[in-house]
């Protein structure tokens, strides 16, 4: 069943959105002023022309190949959104979210839940007869203060095209036409020459206009707005000379509550480097709180009540040294805490996994990237586990039919949990790392095939372990992959051993195993136990370079805490991706024959 093509392209001036021209390396400029609309139905097929036009209009790309259950949408900001047929969860960046409906197959074509597709793309739809008029939303607002000033950065589901509407000595206002907002309100900043930043949305349904006003401190100067990446809005302010500097220490400048179908998000904007700690109480208390340490609350305190999975949000300066963001949850729910350079996002999502952590901590600001660059521990290769690599041929012995395809194999799954400790299952950790790895690789232009992308066996019909493993091998061999990466978690009968180990079987595996091992040890700060030759089924029987990575020991307390941490899993995924890219760069394929 195909939906009508005619719905797109009827361009009505009153509904036209001021989309900036989007230039892509692949093609010409996408014409601005095209109204975004799509059939108003719970689901949309991946081959639906109106979906394709909508994605093109916002610079996003859909990847799906016949016979695959995974549908990937790469947003213009390179974040990958991944849906899987039959799964009620979807992934956006490093986050797992609950879909309103699970995608299903109609014939061979996957149909996706439309409301989740729109919210993952920072879009909002308004019904108009049997179509939805689709409007992009201002989705994030950050204020970063620096030595002599501050910068306001806003981003939306489309490139932002600001129009200067008002300016005097004390304030400056820009308008974004055709853009709504999920971050309306006023944020008090009182730093870097900015008094406050106000966002206000006006206009009719699907023809919104969002105003962003920056109130300046006396003597401060706003520079003309610009864009850092051709998509966001960036406005820098220079504070007056000799003005009293901002109080020392990190400052919580805004707390935005963004309820959506998939996840309830609380975005905490923090200026300056900070550390935080969070805690979660189990049933029946169901409270979560996050403390930003040594911080000052410059945003207004709040005590809001909601209906839904989160019933209350409270923001307070609980001690002179501590800002607390506390959530009351309607039931026990999973909470993810994602730090960034400009704050921390708290996501309340799908049902809780047993063994989820009750507390954690992290850092915000430049500290975040420093942690990613610097290993937590100096790698100390365990001499017993190190093998001197045998000299390997520089080129793979099989020529991949698909040189950009990487097959990712999340170890175990379904009725096979793998190893476990304190309720944390290997199959859960391997899948999570694999999904993160997929997002990173796809964003970097690789094609990815997963031997499984949900909690299932690779071959649910397999009756033996051998058949199950062969199904994973077949996935790579049958599709002519460039490389095969199997992800696992290690276990030992004693608590001492820790660190990452990469296993290989064939001579052509060695370079890949070494590059992945070193990159993961470096990125994730894990002890580098080196590479080990072993006749493991999946590495032995795959025809392309293959590696089986034992990411860490679930039996070691330090490694357990890491395996349990979403941030660490993201770093492992980043390390594996970097290792694959190093390998690919240093082991180029022979040029394709020309005729």
| Candidate residues 94, 110, 411, 579; the one interacting with Zn ion per rule CB under 5 A | 411
- Comparing CB distances to Zn ion, the nearer of 272 and 411 is 411
Strands 80-84 and 89-92: antiparallel
User: For the chain, how many residues are written?
Assistant: 595
Please name the helix (run of DSSP H) or strand (run of DSSP E) that holds residue 97, with its range, or none: strand 95-98
Q: Catalogue the long-range contacts made by 2-6 (C-beta closer than 8 Å, 24 or more residues apart).
A: 2/45, 2/47, 2/48, 2/49, 3/39, 3/41, 3/44, 3/45, 3/48, 3/49, 3/50, 4/39, 4/50, 5/49, 5/50
Q: How far is the CB of 390 from Zn ion (least distance, A)?
A: 25
Window of 70-78, 394-402, 482-490, 526-534 that interacts with Zn ion by CB under 5 A: 482-490
Q: How far is the CB of 427 from Zn ion (least distance, A)?
A: 8
- Comparing CB distances to Zn ion, the nearer of 145 and 419 is 419
| Candidate residues 91, 436, 472, 488; the one interacting with Zn ion per rule CB under 5 A | 488
Q: How far is the CB of 409 from Zn ion (least distance, A)?
A: 10
Residue 418 within binding range of Zn ion, rule CB under 5 A: yes
Q: How far is the CB of 467 from Zn ion (least distance, A)?
A: 17
Window of 33-41, 340-348, 466-474, 486-494 that interacts with Zn ion by CB under 5 A: 486-494
**Lateral strand order in the sheet of 343-351:** 296-297, 251-259, 264-271, 343-351, 333-340
Q: How far is the CB of 387 from Zn ion (least distance, A)?
A: 20
- Comparing CB distances to Zn ion, the nearer of 149 and 411 is 411
Window of 167-175, 280-288, 411-419, 477-485 that interacts with Zn ion by CB under 5 A: 411-419
Take residue 290 and report the two structure tokens written for it. 């996050």
Q: How far is the CB of 426 from Zn ion (least distance, A)?
A: 5
- Comparing CB distances to Zn ion, the nearer of 342 and 419 is 419
**8 Å CB contact between 63 and 74:** yes
- Comparing CB distances to Zn ion, the nearer of 360 and 411 is 411
- Comparing CB distances to Zn ion, the nearer of 126 and 568 is 568
Q: Give residue 377's Cα distance to chain centre.
A: 26
Q: How far is the CB of 299 from Zn ion (least distance, A)?
A: 46
**8 Å CB contact between 11 and 33:** yes
> Binding string to Zn ion for residues 509 to 548, with x set by CB under 5 A, is what?
----------------------------------------
- Comparing CB distances to Zn ion, the nearer of 158 and 549 is 549
Identify the three-state secondary structure at position 544.
coil
Window of 63-71, 277-285, 410-418, 575-583 that interacts with Zn ion by CB under 5 A: 410-418
Q: How far is the CB of 430 from Zn ion (least distance, A)?
A: 7
Backbone angles phi, psi at 571, to 5 degrees: -70, -35
Q: How far is the CB of 489 from Zn ion (least distance, A)?
A: 6
Cis preceding linkage at 284, omega within 30: yes
Report the sign of the C-alpha dihedral through residues 413, 416, 418, 421, in that order.
positive
Rounded to an integer, what distance in angstroms lies between the CA atom of residue 62 and that of residue 120? 13
Rounded to an integer, what distance in angstroms lies between the CA atom of residue 315 and that of residue 110? 42
> Binding string to Zn ion for residues 353 to 392, with x set by CB under 5 A, is what?
----------------------------------------
Rounded to an integer, what distance in angstroms lies between the CA atom of residue 150 and that of residue 385? 51
Distance separating the N- and C-terminal Cα atoms of the chain = 42
Window of 119-127, 412-420, 519-527, 554-562 that interacts with Zn ion by CB under 5 A: 412-420
| Helices marked H in 499-565 | 510-524, 537-541, 557-563
Rounded to an integer, what distance in angstroms lies between the CA atom of residue 242 and that of residue 245? 8
Angle, vertex CA 46, rays to CA 44 and CA 47, nearest 5: 110
- Comparing CB distances to Zn ion, the nearer of 150 and 516 is 516
Take residue 503 and report the two structure tokens written for it. 């296993």
Rounded to an integer, what distance in angstroms lies between the CA atom of residue 149 and that of residue 193? 6
Window of 68-76, 166-174, 381-389, 417-425 that interacts with Zn ion by CB under 5 A: 417-425
Q: How far is the CB of 527 from Zn ion (least distance, A)?
A: 19
Residue 59 within binding range of Zn ion, rule CB under 5 A: no
Q: How far is the CB of 579 from Zn ion (least distance, A)?
A: 19
- Comparing CB distances to Zn ion, the nearer of 347 and 476 is 476
Which residue has the CB atom at the shortest distance from Zn ion? 488
What residues numbered 298-317 form the site for Zn ion, per CB under 5 A? none
State the helix-helix crossing angle for 510-524 and 566-586, rounded to 10 degrees.
140
Closest CA to 330 of 356, 343, 348, 355: 348
- Comparing CB distances to Zn ion, the nearer of 8 and 547 is 547
Window of 306-314, 347-355, 413-421, 578-586 that interacts with Zn ion by CB under 5 A: 413-421
Window of 256-264, 311-319, 415-423, 463-471 that interacts with Zn ion by CB under 5 A: 415-423
- Comparing CB distances to Zn ion, the nearer of 306 and 491 is 491
Window of 348-356, 418-426, 440-448, 533-541 that interacts with Zn ion by CB under 5 A: 418-426
**8 Å CB contact between 48 and 3:** yes
| Helices marked H in 416-499 | 426-443, 465-478
Tell me how many residues contact Zn ion (CB under 5 A): 3
Q: How far is the CB of 418 from Zn ion (least distance, A)?
A: 4
- Comparing CB distances to Zn ion, the nearer of 411 and 545 is 411
Residues that bind Zn ion (CB under 5 A): 411, 418, 488
């Amino acid at each position: 069943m195909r939906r009508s093509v005619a719905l797109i392209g009827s361009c009505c001036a009153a509904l036209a959105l001021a989309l900036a021209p989007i230039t892509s390396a692949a093609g010409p400029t996408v014409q601005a002023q095209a109204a975004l609309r799509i059939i108003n139905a719970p689901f949309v097929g991946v081959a639906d022309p109106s979906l394709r036009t909508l994605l093109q209009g916002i610079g996003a790309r859909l990847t799906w190949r016949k016979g695959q259950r995974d549908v990937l949408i790469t947003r213009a900001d390179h974040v990958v959104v991944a849906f899987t047929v039959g799964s009620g969860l979807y992934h956006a960046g490093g986050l797992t979210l609950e879909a309103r409906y699970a995608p299903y197959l109609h014939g061979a074509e996957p149909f996706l839940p439309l409301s989740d597709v729109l919210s993952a793309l920072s879009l909002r739809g308004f019904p108009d007869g049997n179509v939805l008029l689709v409007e992009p939303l201002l989705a994030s607002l950050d204020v970063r203060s620096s030595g002599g000033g501050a910068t306001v950065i806003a981003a939306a589901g489309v490139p932002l095209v600001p129009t200067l509407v008002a300016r005097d000595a004390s304030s400056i206002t820009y308008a974004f036409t055709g853009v709504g907002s999920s971050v309306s309100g006023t944020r008090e900043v009182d730093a870097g020459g900015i008094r406050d930043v106000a966002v206000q949305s006006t206009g009719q349904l699907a023809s919104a206009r969002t105003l962003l006003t920056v109130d300046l401190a006396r003597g401060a100067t706003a520079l003309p707005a610009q864009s850092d990446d051709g998509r966001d809005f960036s406005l820098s302010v220079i504070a007056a000379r000799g003005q009293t500097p901002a109080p020392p220490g990190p400052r919580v400048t805004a707390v935005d509550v963004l309820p959506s179908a998939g996840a309830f998000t609380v975005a905490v904007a923090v200026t300056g480097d900070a550390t935080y700690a969070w805690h979660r109480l189990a049933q029946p208390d169901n409270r979560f709180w996050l403390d930003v340490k040594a911080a000052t609350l410059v945003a207004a305190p709040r005590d809001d009540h909601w209906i839904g999975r989160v019933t209350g949000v409270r923001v307070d300066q609980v001690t002179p040294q501590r800002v607390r963001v506390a959530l009351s949850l309607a039931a026990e729910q999973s909470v993810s805490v994602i730090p960034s350079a400009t704050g921390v996002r708290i996501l309340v999502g799908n049902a809780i996994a047993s063994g989820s952590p009750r507390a954690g901590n992290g850092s915000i600001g430049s500290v975040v990237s420093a942690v990613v660059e610097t290993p937590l521990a100096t790698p100390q290769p365990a001499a017993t586990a190190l093998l001197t690599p045998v000299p390997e041929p520089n080129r793979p012995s099989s020529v991949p039919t698909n040189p950009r395809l990487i097959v990712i194999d999340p170890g175990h799954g379904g009725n096979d949990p793998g190893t476990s400790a304190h309720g944390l299952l290997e199959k859960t950790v391997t899948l999570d790392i694999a999904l993160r790895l997929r997002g990173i690789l796809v964003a970097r232009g690789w094609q990815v095939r997963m031997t499984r992308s949900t909690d299932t066996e690779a071959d649910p019909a397999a009756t033996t372990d051998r058949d199950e493993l062969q199904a994973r091998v077949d996935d790579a061999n049958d599709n002519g992959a460039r490389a095969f990466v199997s992800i696992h978690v290690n276990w030992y009968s004693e608590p001492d051993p820790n660190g990452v180990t990469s296993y290989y079987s064939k001579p052509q595996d060695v370079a890949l195993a070494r590059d992945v091992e070193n990159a993961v040890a470096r990125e994730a700060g894990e002890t580098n136990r080196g590479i080990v030759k072993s006749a493991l089924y999946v590495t032995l029987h795959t025809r392309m370079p293959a590696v089986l990575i034992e990411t860490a020991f679930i039996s070691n307390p330090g490694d357990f805490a890491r395996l349990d941490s979403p941030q660490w899993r993201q770093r492992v995924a980043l390390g594996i991706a970097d290792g694959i890219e190093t390998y690919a760069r240093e082991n180029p394929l022979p040029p394709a024959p020309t005729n």
